[in-house]
């Protein structure tokens, strides 16, 4: 097996094992370890905001948020995958 393929398979095995461990945990434990606050510029700077449509929200994300936050639309070759 080539090196990159072996790495991909190991990664999936480890991830699946982690999924099984998490599935064995009670729901309240999942919540306890599943939520964390990390400040996001612009996004966390306003107390609240509302968008009439999801298209409006997507436009706002594209215009206002720094790209590194990941809210921009995915490049065309990844769309819908």
Partner 1 sequence: MPESKFTSDQAVAVAAACAAHQVDYLFIGKSGAILLGYPAVTQDVDLFLPKDRQNAARMIRALQTIGFKLSATIQKQIRAGADFVQLKRGPFDLDLIHAPDGIPSFDEAKKRSVIQDGFPVANLRDIIASKRASNREKDLVDLLLLEEFRLEYEKRHPPALETAAVKVMRTTTAAKTRSRK
Q: Which residues bind partner 1 (CB under 8 A)?
A: 12, 15-16, 18-23, 25-40, 43-44, 46-57, 61, 67, 69-75, 78-81
Find all residues with CB under 8 Å of 51, minimum gap 6, and list them: 57, 60
Cβ atoms of 65 and 43 closer than 8 Å:
yes
Q: How far is the CB of 2 from partner 1 (least distance, A)?
A: 20
Nearer to partner 1 among residue 2 and residue 53 (C-beta)? 53
Nearer to partner 1 among residue 4 and residue 47 (C-beta)? 47
Q: How far is the CB of 15 from partner 1 (least distance, A)?
A: 6
Cβ atoms of 65 and 72 closer than 8 Å:
yes
> Cα–Cα distance between 80 and 61 in angstroms, integer?
19
Q: How far is the CB of 54 from partner 1 (least distance, A)?
A: 5
């Amino acid at each position: 097996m080539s090196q990159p393929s072996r790495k991909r398979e190991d990664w999936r095995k480890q991830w699946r094992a982690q999924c099984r461990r998490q599935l064995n945990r009670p729901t309240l434990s999942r919540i306890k370890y599943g939520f964390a606050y990390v400040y996001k510029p612009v996004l966390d700077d306003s107390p609240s905001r509302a968008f009439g449509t999801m298209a409006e929200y997507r436009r706002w994300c594209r215009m206002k948020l720094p790209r590194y936050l990941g809210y921009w639309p995915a490049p065309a070759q990844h769309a819908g995958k």
